[in-house]
Amino acid sequence: NIITGIFVSDALEVASNDKELVERKGRVRDEETLTILRKLFLLADADDSGSISFSELETFLQRADVRAIFATHGLEVSNPMGFFRMLDVDHDAEIEIDEFVMGCMKFRGVAKTVDLETLAHQTTRMVALLRENTLELHTALISATTLLKDHMLCMENRLLGLPDQDADMLNIKAHGQLGSSLRSH
């Protein structure tokens, strides 16, 4: 039991040291990647403006050595425009160094960049369609509610025996607008 205890204790100590070593290597690797990404940004910024335009990024990504460096760090860029959109978080059509470095660090290795680009594009498109449909539905509901209120007022006037000079016109208007609103949805 004593010998087994010594082996278990030693094994746990080695495992703990291995975990610390792996974490330390990971931090060192991340620091090296950050340094490389900063250098890549400076190379991509052809006009030294402090930011990268889409045309600068597209030209930069055409270089085989750049694609190889990106691949080495877990970034495969098959769609430069999609990649640019993912990195341009403030949507100002320029990528600053922080956007570039942090975006690349965020998207590396977990999934292929092409998958992320496709997902981001599809999500943006779906949100836009949802907004558009919600606005159309909201407009149709407001129109239907207004027409129903007008129709109820006309019915109330008839029940109370009040003159309803505009009743026929209101009915025509209500049926025409409500019908077209409902047909469009």
For the chain, the structural domain boundaries read 2-110, 122-183
Distance CA 24, CA 50 (A): 32
Distance CA 41, CA 25 (A): 24
Each residue's pLDDT tens digit in the chain (185 positions)?
677 767 667 766 766 666 676 677 778 888 988 999 999 999 999 999 999 999 999 999 999 999 999 988 888 888 898 889 889 989 899 999 999 999 998 887 655 555 666 677 778 888 888 999 999 999 999 999 999 998 888 888 888 887 655 555 555 555 555 555 445 55
pLDDT of amino acid 83: 87
Distance CA 107, CA 159 (A): 68
Does the CA dihedral 101-106-109-114 come out positive or negative?
negative
pLDDT of amino acid 184: 53
Q: How far is CA 57 from CA 8, 10, 101, 111, in A?
A: 54, 52, 13, 21
pLDDT of amino acid 40: 95
- Entry pTM: 0.53
Distance CA 15, CA 113 (A): 34
pLDDT of amino acid 62: 95
Name the fold adopted by 2-110: Recoverin; domain 1 (1.10.238)
pLDDT of amino acid 183: 52
